[in-house]
Amino acid sequence: MGVHVQTTINGDAVEFACGVDESLLDVLRNRVGLTGAKEGCGTGDCGACSVILDGRLVCSCLVLGAEMNGKSVETIEGMADGNVLHPLQQHFIDGAALQCGVCTPGFLMAAQALLRKNPDPTEEEIRFGLAGNLCRCTGYDKIVRAVQAAAKEMRG
């Protein structure tokens, strides 16, 4: 009944077996042990489960684990370089861009995907780039500012 899957997660070769109806989110959280991606809705509305799949930002609750054969998945757990935080991570802390922090992994993945495509986004482009992620604590103000600051630093 289970499907055997060979995939790459944060650069590591990973093998797992999962049911045909299991989401990538459930596989990451319950089978691979990566709980950084969160389930806020399970219907693709909140973005808390955002991961980057073959370079594309997706809601991992809307993707099946069984489809991951040969794919490459990036999650929040792979964002820092060892003990050196990614500029986005550092600016989220320094700029108080998180309060409860449950949406933070999703926002960081979405911001990462945005800045790879567009290293110098306008405020409006940031706001639309992050519009698939819900945050209920911050009113988004400090999130947008943190992404602006990180983008500036990353451009050098």
Partner 1 sequence: MSLDSHSSDPMNPGLVERKFKVIGSRVARPDGVDKVTGRARFGADASAPGQLVGLVLRSPHAHAQIVKIDTKAAEKLPGVKAVITSVDLPDYTNGDRSMLDILENCMARKKALYDGHAVAAVAAIDAATARKALALINVTYKILPHVTDVDEALKHTAPIIHDHIFTEGTPQKSEMPSNQNKHASYGHGDVEQGLKEADVVISRSFKTEQTHQGYIEPHSCLASVSPDGAAEMWVCTQGHFVYRNQCAILLGLDANKLRVTSSEIGGGFGGKTHIWAEPLALALSRKANRPVKLTMSREEVFRCTGPTSSTSIDVKLGVKKDGTITAAFAELRYHGGAFPSTWAELGAQTAFACYDLKNVQTISKDVVVNRPKTAAYRAPSAPMAAFAVENAMDEAAKAIGMDPLDFRIKNAAKEGTKSSYGPVYGPIGIGPTLMAAKNHPHMKAPLGKNQGRGVACGFWFNFGGQTCVDVNITPDGNVTIAQGTIDVGGSRASIAMAVAEELGVTYDHVRSTIADTSSLGHNDMTDGSRGTFSTSMAAIFATRNAITVLRNRAAKTWEINVDDVEWKDGSAHPIGKGHGNLAPLSLKDLAAGAGNTGGPIAGHAEITADNAGVSFGTHIADVETDPETGRSLIKRYTVIQDAGKAMHPSYVEGQYQGGAVQGIGWALNEEYVYGKDGRLQNAAFLDYRIPVCSDLPFIDTQILEIPNPNHPYGVRGVGETSIVPPLAAVSIAVTNSTGVRQTHIPMSPPRVLKSIQDAKAK
Query: Rounded to an integer, what distance in angstroms lies between the CA atom of residue 15 and that of residue 149?
Result: 38
Q: Cβ closer to partner 1: 55 or 100? A: 100
Query: Rounded to an integer, what distance in angstroms lies between the CA atom of residue 35 and that of residue 32?
Result: 9
The stretch among 52-60, 66-74, 112-120, 127-135 that binds partner 1 (CB under 8 A) is 127-135
Query: Rounded to an integer, what distance in angstroms lies between the CA atom of residue 33 and that of residue 129?
Result: 28
Mark 2-21 with x for binding to partner 1 (rule: CB under 8 A) and - for no binding: -----------------x-x
Query: Rounded to an integer, what distance in angstroms lies between the CA atom of residue 131 and that of residue 135?
Result: 10
Name residue, tokens 């797992």. 16
Among 24, 76, 114, 115, binds partner 1 (CB under 8 A): 76
Contact positions toward partner 1, by CB under 8 A?
Answer: 19, 21, 29, 34-43, 45-46, 48, 75-77, 79-80, 85, 89-90, 92-96, 98-105, 108, 124, 126-128, 130-145
